[in-house]
Structure 1
Amino acid sequence: MSEHPQLGITVDCADAQVVARFWCRALGYVEAPPPQGWDDWPSFLTDHGVPEDEWGDGATIRPATGEGPSISFLKVPEPKTVKNRVHLDVKVSGGRHVDQALRETRIRATEADLVAHGARSLREDVGDDGRLDHVVMADPEGNEFCVV
């Protein structure tokens, strides 16, 4: 293998557009541009024979800087039925070395914003000292993630 593989994350979902918009908000990501050589997604999809009624079945987002992993969302027919074995962490607190009150303020503000945009809070995880460590949440389709 001459090149190192790149990391891409794919999330199965029922509505790729809704879930992609949510994760853009949660992570500060943007819609990924079409592949090089195409001016827009409709041109790319048309050139690859994707029927127009399937154009909303997928979406890809990436960091605004272009650096870091992309996340793709793919419409699948089956609903989510069990807990995720892999999940994303939305890291906003600054880490455990940051003052606990500031960490908690950052976590709570992000939690409130994401709830306002379709997420649900599932539970809080606190350390042995009773301090908030992170909040476990679910995106609009029930995929678990943590705000840390």
Structure 2
Amino acid sequence: MPRSSEVFNLTFDATDPRRLAEFWALALGYQVEPPPDGFASWEEALAAWNVPKEDWDSASAVIDPDGVLPRVYFQRVPEEKTAKNRVHLDVRAWRRSGPDAAPPPLAQRRAAVEAKVAELVAAGATVVGPVEEYDNFWIILLDPEDNEFCVV
């Protein structure tokens, strides 16, 4: 069975692909995609492929360090974001202790969410606001280019 990273990419339109890649690498626990084998840097690879220098910052990507989860790709587009996202990511701030384990208590989840939000705000996110429903708590944020996402 193929890994999810071989089945699809998640793609963001961006004004500054590198900045968004660095932000989302931190948010997801990913890493910025390294240059292909045989190249010491992306600049070296792009020069070898005769990509014009003005296009070197037109894209970036982040990958799961374990190679299991989907690659996230950021491509430069000329237009600014104009409307609310119809799809968004929920960044999990806590982990279950096992596949069949119950989630941790709400107070523990809240503390994990608030800690992750503080980290992401320091990296350029903006808080929209918290939401609490039943036994759930999450905070809605905007990434550095105003894409909505939640920390749960």
* TM-score after normalising by structure 1: 0.86
What is the match of residue 86 of structure 1?
87
Q: Residue type of the partner of 1:143?
A: N
Instruction: Choose from 130, 137, 144 the match for 1:133.
Output: 137
Contact persistence 1:34–1:44 (CA under 8 A): yes
Question: In structure 2, what is the Cα distance between the partners aligned to 1:66 and 1:79?
Answer: 31
Query: Structure 1 residue 100 and structure 2 residue 97: aligned?
Result: no
Question: In structure 2, what is the Cα distance between the partners aligned to 1:28 and 1:72?
Answer: 15
Query: Structure 1 residue 9 and structure 2 residue 15: aligned?
Result: no
RMSD between aligned residues: 2.0
Contact persistence 1:135–1:147 (CA under 8 A): yes
What is the match of residue 147 of structure 2?
143
Question: In structure 2, what is the Cα distance between the partners aligned to 1:85 and 1:48?
Answer: 36
Question: In structure 2, what is the Cα distance between the partners aligned to 1:74 and 1:18?
Answer: 11
Greater Cα offset, 114-123 or 93-102: 93-102
What is the match of residue 47 of structure 1?
48
Query: Structure 1 residue 64 and structure 2 residue 68: aligned?
Result: no
- The runs of 5 or more residues in structure 1 that have no matched partner are none
Shift of the alpha carbon at 1:37? 5.4
Greater Cα offset, 69-78 or 89-98: 89-98
Question: In structure 2, what is the Cα distance between the partners aligned to 1:66 and 1:88?
Answer: 19
| Percent identity of paired positions between Structure 1 and Structure 2 | 37
What is the match of residue 122 of structure 2?
116
Secondary structure of the structure 2 residue equivalent to 1:134: strand
Deviations 1:47-99 (A, max 9, x none): 33311121112111101222211111111110000011111111113367311
Q: Residue type of the partner of 2:91?
A: V
* TM-score after normalising by structure 2: 0.84
Contact persistence 2:106–2:137 (CA under 8 A): no
Query: Structure 1 residue 29 and structure 2 residue 33: aligned?
Result: no
Greater Cα offset, 10-19 or 60-69: 60-69
Contact persistence 1:94–1:103 (CA under 8 A): no
Contact persistence 1:111–1:147 (CA under 8 A): yes
Question: In structure 2, what is the Cα distance between the partners aligned to 1:36 and 1:6?
Answer: 22
